[in-house]
């Protein structure tokens, strides 16, 4: 009887131990995937993920937790996260969240709002919430057309976003840094302000970004050789034509 009682106690302890291992802590371990690092402070993510885990009793057990739903909730809460994978450990009780931040494209200023925009034209985070925003060296887009910004929602179309990114890239390859880009009332026209010049460049986002950037680069080279400087702008919006004022 003594051995039976001991065996019973051992079995009960084992069951309790296994049951304990199958429960999960509220505080997940955060792991970073990719080169972009964290766009917010680690403490911001920790508090947010803790709250998401505590939002349902089903998240307390390895048997009932839904990692797909958790990943979706994390990305809805933090649009600046490109992907979030929730990993449930076998022996440990601490879940792990592997996050990959999006690649920032530029900053968009509109009225009193200033948001970081990703490569898909989505407003992913207010600038004030992004750590080391200056270190990202992003071009600022100034909206004069009254674009409504809502976090997690597209503010520019994929076509507009691709155009702006291509212009910035082409001018950078030519050694010309873009300081600002303005979107006037006409939603498809933009005014590009290169560094170290007093004029701006008129472009149209319904055209070919590479062609318009190439026309500007060629025109600027010709003007520098003749020591002429536009007083206001260089307009490259029309195919095979350049207007200078």
Instruction: Enter the DSSP assignment of 22.
Output: T
Q: Does the pLDDT of residue 86 top 80, yes or no?
A: yes
Q: Does the pLDDT of residue 127 top 60, yes or no?
A: yes
Q: Which residues contact 126 (CB under 8 A, 6 or more apart)?
A: 113, 114, 115, 116, 151
What average pLDDT does this structure show over 23-29? 85
Sorting pLDDT into bands at 50, 70 and 90, what band is 102?
confident
What average pLDDT does this structure show over 25-30? 86
Residues 223 and 190 sit within 8 Å (Cβ to Cβ):
no
* Model pLDDT for residues 47-68, shown as the tens digit of each residue: 989 999 898 998 888 888 999 9
Percentage, residues of the chain above pLDDT 70 = 91
| pLDDT given at position 22 | 75
Instruction: Enter the DSSP assignment of 140.
Output: E
Q: Does the pLDDT of residue 13 top 90, yes or no?
A: no
Rounded Cα–Cα distance for residues 202 and 237 (Å): 7
The residue ranking higher by pLDDT, 2 or 161, is 161
- Here the tokens at position 37 are 């690092």
The burial class, CB within 10 Å (0-12 / 13-18 / 19+), for 42 is: exposed
The residue ranking higher by pLDDT, 86 or 147, is 86
| pLDDT given at position 12 | 57
Q: Does the pLDDT of residue 3 top 80, yes or no?
A: no
Cα–Cα separations (whole angstroms), residue 233 to 118, 203, 230: 29, 11, 6
Rounded Cα–Cα distance for residues 200 and 51 (Å): 48
What is the value of pTM for the model shown?
0.82
Both ends of the chain: CA-CA distance in Å?
Answer: 103
* Model pLDDT for residues 183-225, shown as the tens digit of each residue: 887 768 999 999 999 999 999 999 999 999 999 999 999 988 8
What average pLDDT does this structure show over 97-103? 89
- Our measurement of the distance from residue 71's CA atom to the centroid of its chain's CA atoms, rounded to an integer in Å, reads 17
Sorting pLDDT into bands at 50, 70 and 90, what band is 27?
confident
Rounded Cα–Cα distance for residues 139 and 191 (Å): 13
Residues 81 and 99 sit within 8 Å (Cβ to Cβ):
yes
Q: Does the pLDDT of residue 7 top 70, yes or no?
A: no
| pLDDT given at position 220 | 92
- Here the tokens at position 168 are 């910035």
Sorting pLDDT into bands at 50, 70 and 90, what band is 4?
low
């Amino acid at each position: 009887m003594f051995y039976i009682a001991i065996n019973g106690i051992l079995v009960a302890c084992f069951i309790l131990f296994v049951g304990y291992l199958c429960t999960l802590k509220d505080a997940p371990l955060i792991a970073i995937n990719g080169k972009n690092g964290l766009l917010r402070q680690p403490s911001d993510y920790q508090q947010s993920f803790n709250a998401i885990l505590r939002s349902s009793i089903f998240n307390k057990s390895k048997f009932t937790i839904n990692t797909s739903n958790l990943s979706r909730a994390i990305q809805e809460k933090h649009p600046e996260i490109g992907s979030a994978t929730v990993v449930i450990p076998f022996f440990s009780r601490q879940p792990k969240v592997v996050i990959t931040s999006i690649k920032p494209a530029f900053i968009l200023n509109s009225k009193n709002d200033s948001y970081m925009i990703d490569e898909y034209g989505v407003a992913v985070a207010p600038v004030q919430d992004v750590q080391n925003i200056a270190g990202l060296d992003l071009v600022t887009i100034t909206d004069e057309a009254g674009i409504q910004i809502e976090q997690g929602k597209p503010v520019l179309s994929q076509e507009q976003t691709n155009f702006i990114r291509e212009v910035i890239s082409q001018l950078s390859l030519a050694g010309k840094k873009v300081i600002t880009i303005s979107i006037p009332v006409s939603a498809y026209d933009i005014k590009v302000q290169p560094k170290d010049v007093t004029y701006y460049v008129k472009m149209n986002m319904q055209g070919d970004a590479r062609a318009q950037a190439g026309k500007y680069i060629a025109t600027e080279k010709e003007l520098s050789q003749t020591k002429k400087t536009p007083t206001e702008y260089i307009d490259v919006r029309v195919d095979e034509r350049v207007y200078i004022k």
